[in-house]
Amino acid sequence: MAKHSEIMKQVFAHMAGMVVVDQQSRIVFVEETYAASRGFDHQQVIGRYVKDVIPTSKLPVVIESGKPILGDVFYYEGKTVICNRYPLIKDGVIIGAISYQVFEGVDKLFESIQELRTQLDYYKEKIKKYAGVRYSIGDIIGSNPATVAIRTAILKTACTNATVLIQGETGTGKELVAHALHQESRRSPYPFVKLNCAAIPQELIESELFGYDEGAFTGARRAGKKGKFELADKGTLFLDEISQLSMSAQAKLLRVLQEKEIERIGGAEPIPVNVRIVAATNDDLEDMVKQGTFRADLYYRLNVIPIKVAPLRERKSDIPLLVNKFAEKYGEQAGLGTVAVDPDAMALLMEYEWPGNIRELDHAVERAINLCSSTILQPVHFEWLMPKIRNKGKSTAGMSIQDARAASEKEIILNALQATKGNKKKAAELLGIARPLLYQKMHRLGITS
């Protein structure tokens, strides 16, 4: 019996702050360490009314109500403590009550939880990078109604699995919208896979999309290769420059959208896929359908939920926010710290039409900061914009919308080629497009340099 008493004593010693009372709320037991912390002897208080010894005790309430008090938070000597209290019942009669601490020093627990949250955020970022996601809806900067409408459309569309077609001029941020759509959707834990349809030779586009089996063609990998659809399973497949797909690839893509399955090149069995398609283009697909260069049935399959990304000239009120964001980004990279923008310089930027949209504005601020030796951007740092602003409207007067757009596009490409001294690879990188697409645009626009 003595051995059992010693065991129970050790058990009670490990239940921090334990207090036991009888049906008259008189103390029957107090854990020794807890009693010492309160400044009384644990044996000398046996039989005393609990509130005479521990004024804050709620054990009399438990005795009276017959109900437990769980997760009660209180403070003692600067520490946050969580305590549970239970009635002791025998044969349906309350014979006493017990209380003990669940946590002491909960502040440390909260600190641990915050640390775990920080770690969780870190690993979420790692997963995002692994999944191919770089942007979120928070990267869509601006308060203009057109920008707010884009964010609203993303949030409404993200909760569905419908195919999305993002249309907008070059440099408006179509890829950013696609990333944000994936981030806000239930598919966000799964891969975000991108394919630039203009960057892949048309004879290879089908193997990129659908993959191939062993021995499908000369030079094929021995084990075959998964295509973008298989890599994006359960996630999102972003098809950028969708207008550049060949008619053959368009037909096969249409079949995948209808049947929800693919066939590898050289494969015998269909492979089911669970992928959301988000497509983007800066071309007018409706016009291409009329011209017979894009399948009408594929267009209707892609255009289930259209998202139009307005050009920067239609949301100029966003320019100051964007400029400050880019100035902060490139100021830090250049070692200048915080870079401010002079009001006259901002007025100059607001006056320009930005045919290259946000991408052109981004490069303009980067160029200005590399020319700047102070922490304030002045109009002189954007002097190359002066002739363009003075000639604003002259070069496109009397043109149709299509001709004016082509003229602006030609000017942007010529500027990029001039900035890179004719290096087409660097010009394509500067423009944010694939080199084959740059060649196509140069041919279409009659640029021979």
Cβ within 8 Å of residue 48, ≥6 positions away: 26, 27
Per-domain residue ranges for the chain?
A: 2-107, 131-308, 313-445
- DSSP code of 317? G
Closest alpha carbon to 210 in 274, 261, 138, 152: 261
Cα separation, 240 vs 164, whole angstroms: 12
List, as own/partner pairs, every contact residues 35-42 make where C-beta atoms lie below 8 angstroms and the sequence separation is at least 24, other chains included.
37/77
The reported pLDDT for the residue numbered 305 is 95
Q: Give the position of tokens 């697909």.
A: 285
Q: Tokens in use for 443?
A: 């041919």
Does domain 131-308 match CATH 3.30.1490.100?
A: no
The reported pLDDT for the residue numbered 392 is 59
Convert the pLDDT of each residue in 375-421 to its tens digit. Answer: 889 988 888 888 877 765 555 555 565 666 677 778 778 877 877 77
Strand 164-167 and strand 276-281: the pairing is parallel
Architecture of domain 2-107: 2-Layer Sandwich (3.30)
Low-confidence ranges of the chain (pLDDT < 50): 1, 130
Whole-Å CA distances, 27 to 43, 68, 70, 197, 374: 10, 18, 20, 79, 75
Convert the pLDDT of each residue in 119-159 to its tens digit. Answer: 666 555 555 554 567 888 989 999 999 999 999 999 999 98
- DSSP code of 28? E
- DSSP code of 328? H
Whole-Å CA distances, 265 to 196, 207, 432: 20, 7, 31
Cα separation, 104 vs 236, whole angstroms: 46
Domain 313-445 belongs to what topology? Helicase, Ruva Protein; domain 3 (1.10.8)
The helix or strand, by DSSP H or E, that contains position 401, with its residue range, turns out to be: helix 401-419
Closest alpha carbon to 248 in 193, 277, 276, 210: 210
